[in-house]
Amino acid sequence: MFLVGIAGGSGSGKTTFAQKIIQRVADPSVALLHQDSYYLPTPPQDLAMTGGGFNFDHPEAFDWPLLRSHFEQLKAEGRVNVPVYDYRTNQRTAEVEPVGPCKVIILEGIFTLWDAALRELFDLKVFLDVEADIRFIRRLHRDVRERGRSLDGIIRQYYDTVRPMHHEFLEPTRQYADLTVGEETDIAAEVIAARIRHALGTTR
């Protein structure tokens, strides 16, 4: 079992980067997990914001026990039912997505390298280092187009939680990365894909 963790700020291109790797590996035994799937069904009350809503950019917004449990089951070549998260309602849906068994797991998310227990499981830890203005513009376009957010709401959330949580909690996890990747990700995707193919015993 080969385990890869990809972390980085919101809008840094984690999902796109993971998909590049998977396309290059071209093996059905590679599974992709999104940390966003593991937002808690109900955010803890201490993450409630004064003006309403919750701080979804804090590490405590995630269901770490479930994520650890799923990771362990997949590592043991089991099968798990991953929650499906609805960004428009900020809630889990009643649906689940079956994942596994697999030989490679790629986990991407803002706090992929936050939890010490998960970090110990990764064979390769990656941090995407992309300038803040680029990340913000990407997030702006994505949230308007795909998540039904308003411009004012996106800007308010960025200044209230995204930016401060990035500096306080996310940026420090860079130190745990084996590899830091900038905005150009093609070469890094090929290098990581080669390592995965080697772990799978395949070459091309």
Backbone phi, then psi, for 29, in 5-degree steps?
Answer: -85, 5
Average pLDDT over residues 38-65: 92
By percentage, how much of the chain surpasses pLDDT 70?
99
Domain presence at residue 13:
yes
Q: What is the dihedral of CA 17, 19, 23, 25, to 10 degrees?
A: 70
Q: Tell me the Ramachandran region of residue 148: left when phi exceeds 0, alpha when psi lies from -120 to 50, beta otherwise.
A: left
pLDDT on residue 2: 94
CA 39 – CA 61 distance, rounded (Å): 6
Q: Would you say residue 57 has pLDDT above 60?
A: yes
> Are the C-beta atoms of residues 35 and 110 closer than 8 Å to each other?
yes
Dump pLDDT digits (tens) for 65-98: 999 999 999 989 899 999 999 988 888 999 999 9
Structurally, the chain folds into a number of domains equal to 1
Domain presence at residue 204:
no
CA 35 – CA 172 distance, rounded (Å): 18
Average pLDDT over residues 10-24: 96
Residue 107's DSSP bridge partners are: 5, 33
pLDDT on residue 117: 92
Domain holding 50: CATH number? 3.40.50.300
Per-residue pLDDT band for 143 (boundaries 50, 70, 90) equals confident
Per-residue pLDDT band for 203 (boundaries 50, 70, 90) equals low
The residue segments making up the domain with residue 15 are 2-199
pLDDT on residue 42: 86
Per-residue pLDDT band for 146 (boundaries 50, 70, 90) equals confident
Dump pLDDT digits (tens) for 148-174: 888 888 898 899 999 999 999 999 999
Question: Ranked by mean pLDDT, which of 45-49, 51-55, 124-128 comes out on top?
Answer: 124-128
Domain presence at residue 86:
yes
- Cα dist from 83 to 13, 96, 148, 202, whole Å: 22, 5, 21, 31
Residue 134's DSSP bridge partners are: none
| Mean of the per-residue pLDDT values of the chain | 93
